[in-house]
Structure 1
Amino acid sequence: MTQSLEQQQESAGSPFGLLGRKLGHSWSPRIHTTLGSVPYDLFEREPNEVEAFIRKGTWRGVNVTIPYKRDAARLADERSPRVERLGAANTLVRRPDGTIYAENTDVLGFSLMLQRFCGRRLGTTAEELLSGKPALVLGSGGASAAVQAALEDAGARVSVISRSGTDTYETLVARHADAVLMVNATPVGMYPNCPATPVPEDDLARLKNLAGVLDVIYNPTRTGIVLAAERLGIPAETGLSMLVAQALRSSELFQDRKLDVSLVDQIESQILSETGNVILIGMPGCGKTTTGKRLARVLGRPFVDIDDAIEANTGENAAHIIDTRGEQEFRRIESRITGEYGAHSGLVIACGGGVVTVPANYDLLHQNGTIAFIDRPLSDLETVGRPVTASKGVEALARERMATYHAWADVEVASTGSPAGNARAIRDLLGL
């Protein structure tokens, strides 16, 4: 019988990896390569295969994800106090004598994320912020249990918000208006269903004591709840640092040595640099498409022109849709396509000039991207084949849109007059 690639790797003694049922894309191999726990493979197993894999496998250390964290705790020979407390483990280590030790580094990872967030964004410690104070955790699953443990260790009075029971989303504001921290531990807002949020922005705005919002989701980079918090001026952060921090703590156990905690920042920065989209906005004819193609070649990334994507999806170009069905229908289609590509990672995206006329498009682009505004003199803009420009005029469009271009932009580039020059300027500004 021919062995699968995973079985061949396991037979050959792949020492480290991630155990789960359906793993898909995972950043764990990349993270552990930097940390030194290699080779690191993905082990997809069905429920009836888990016990044999854990008890009889040749691995030295494995991370465990849903739905096997409770199995990992049950099948271990020794459990850390955190695992005993939660009944779940995300890290298993096979000792030289063959016994298996279970740890929950999700708690450790969130604790590091929390301390870093409090220090960098709030100018305090987790204990100073939370001791004796109310904190809210959205969701009651496995991730929630780890978050609750870390918050309780920092002294917080934790309330869990779920869809049923006493503390629900409907009673959140009435019962918990004094909360100082909110943590999303639900999957709401996770790719590809983004940028959804479990708590409406209006409810966040009514929590007047809220000092910060955290989300354990790390894809997209900015979830719906984080985007809402940003608009309200509330410091907020998603869970990439937690993912990396828990991996660092796991890797220390795998390798039986301490690792420099600065690796968390280093790996997080690398991932964000490689996976964040670069979004180009600006007036029609400013050179977004030609600049985007050049920038994509330089960075070795896929390039997407939203107008081209609309034509590929509908079979009609922008001008034809606007002429036959009106600008409002075109904007609806444009928003749908923008959302599809904005949810992806690692792209260079050139938007149509009017993308900024729909406020909801900002979240679709900003959730995974850095927005660059190409500012070209109006007299230099290309106007041929641009129906909205032809009907309204360049100056009128500029009056309508220019303030929004500036407001949406993370960086602004004065057009150099050439795609290559613009691409270099954007790359340099973003440090790519």
Structure 2
Amino acid sequence: MAGAGERRFGLLGRTLAHSWSPAIHARLGSAPYALFEREPQDVADFVRNGGWRGLNVTIPYKRRAFELADETSARARRLGVANTLVRRDDGSILADNTDLAGFAWMLDAFCRRELGGAAARVLDGERVLVLGSGGASKAVVAALTDVGARACVISRSGADGYEGLVERHADACLVVNTTPVGMFPACPASPLAEGQIESLAGLKGVLDVVYNPLRTGICLAAERAHVPAESGLAMLVAQAALSAELFLGRAVPDEVIADTLAWLGRTTANVLLIGMPGVGKTSAGRALARLVGRPFVDLDDAVNLQCGMSARELLSRHGEDAFRRAETKVAAEHGRRSGLVVACGGGIVTRPENYPLLHQNGTIVLLRRPLSQLSLAGRPLSQACGLERLEHERSGLYASWADVTLDCTGSAGSDARALRRLLGL
């Protein structure tokens, strides 16, 4: 067992390769923080005898952590599971649960920002649809109950199912997804059928406890319906901050939570460069990736790897449709990942289905420069169609897809530095 003065923190789970918890806790001060992957038969010995001071616990071990503790908090007993364990100075283990409070923090911040007031005021007596009936659902329902909302649990196996949802709950003001539908890598996907979000006439907001991708399928559907939405990154950071308070024995200020959330959003979001052929997406992207220490992907190169031939060969042998299908496939593969710099082909915007694939987990940046400065060399579509025609056909699409725009400064290096400043990287 670790000595009373040893401060060793971490996350206990079965598969943790993509966890962001170490980076979050490093900023919150609860470090060193490690990932502890354990098989079910090893959990009891690790919890009781492992050399740790504070643990976060994720699925599938939250119930087991609750059972193995010497003492449980009221919050943990309310939900019957624990996501935080603290080894006290006498060696005993306290089980707590910060999921409820983490969602409550996210809910209140969302209501204040998007709905004009504290959750307890704007949701009092209002119907809220909670998709899913698992462990996360219980925490969400408890938080909603605490602010006076009428939580209606929608599940495939329960009495209140997805079929006929719109007719039964037309007055719902909020939808919260607690299912894993839409979670990386099966993204973007939504637990609701096409058109259901748009058909909820009284809907004022959509929340998702899934945090990867940054914009889940249900959040993208809400965006299309012009309904405010947020995925679960805020809940992830808020519950981590509450765990850090238990680990460290001191409060984490709200501004630290907000700063950590903003930093994590910038860090995990892809940077996706779009623009006319020859504008400099590849060279600027490579320079930016080197500058900020991120992996770089050129989607034309990714098509080459997938098809065994260059984009130019694919276009000449099989036509533009075949190239666009291959481009969409690699856009889906890389668009769902995190923390990349991606140079997209000039025609990526010609297929509407590519937009959610890129938008779900990134910031789309439009690069612009005068047509007279664009090269036609090695660009068969530009040569065949002409730059003026391509610009006429695509300029509106580029503008509608872009989150930010950069007028190129003259060199790849200076463009990269400008992008770093623009995006706060």
Q: 1:28 maps to which residue? A: 21
State the alpha-carbon separation in 2 of the partners of residues 36 and 294 from structure 1.
Answer: 32
**Aligned Cα root-mean-square deviation (Å):** 1.8
State the alpha-carbon separation in 2 of the partners of residues 54 and 300 from structure 1.
Answer: 36
Q: Tell whether 2:287 aligns with 1:283.
A: no
Q: Tell whether 2:257 aligns with 1:264.
A: yes
Q: 2:363 maps to which residue? A: 370
Secondary structure of the 2:201 match is coil
Q: 1:188 maps to which residue? A: 181
Displacement of 1:79: 1.8
Q: 2:401 maps to which residue? A: 408
Q: 2:223 maps to which residue? A: 230
Q: 2:161 maps to which residue? A: 168
1:147 pairs with one of 140, 156, 171: 140
* 1:288-367 paired onto structure 2 within 5 Å: 288-367=281-360
1:383 pairs with one of 361, 376, 380: 376
Moved more, 97-106 or 201-210: 97-106
Q: 2:98 maps to which residue? A: 105
Q: 2:388 maps to which residue? A: 395
Q: Tell whether 2:53 aligns with 1:60.
A: yes
Deviations 1:145-184 (A, max 9, x none): 1111111111111111111232222221121111111111
Displacement of 1:13: 5.5
Query: What residue ranges of structure 2 are gaps of 5+ in the alignment?
Result: none
Displacement of 1:382: 0.8
Secondary structure of the 1:177 match is coil
Q: 2:74 maps to which residue? A: 81
Deviations 1:277-314 (A, max 9, x none): 11111111111111111221222211111101111221
Secondary structure of the 2:347 match is helix
State the alpha-carbon separation in 1 of the partners of residues 23 and 342 from structure 2.
Answer: 25
Are the aligned partners of 1:375 and 1:415 in contact in 2 as well (CA < 8 Å)? yes
State the alpha-carbon separation in 2 of the partners of residues 100 and 291 from structure 1.
Answer: 52
Q: Tell whether 2:121 aligns with 1:123.
A: no
Q: 1:254 maps to which residue? A: 247
Displacement of 1:343: 1.0
State the alpha-carbon separation in 2 of the partners of residues 59 and 375 from structure 1.
Answer: 52
TM-score normalized by structure 2? 0.96
Q: Tell whether 2:207 aligns with 1:214.
A: yes
Secondary structure of the 1:353 match is coil
TM-score normalized by structure 1? 0.94
State the alpha-carbon separation in 2 of the partners of residues 122 and 308 from structure 1.
Answer: 44
Secondary structure of the 1:349 match is strand
Deviations 1:72-92 (A, max 9, x none): 112222222222221111111
State the alpha-carbon separation in 1 of the partners of residues 364 and 48 from structure 2.
Answer: 49
Name the count of aligned residue pairs: 425
Displacement of 1:261: 2.0
Deviations 1:91-133 (A, max 9, x none): 1122223322211100010000111111112221111221111
Moved more, 301-310 or 70-79: 70-79
Moved more, 245-254 or 381-390: 381-390
Deviations 1:27-66 (A, max 9, x none): 1122222222222222222222222222233422211111
Secondary structure of the 2:195 match is helix
Query: What residue ranges of structure 1 are gaps of 5+ in the alignment?
Result: 1-6
Are the aligned partners of 1:134 and 1:178 in contact in 2 as well (CA < 8 Å)? yes
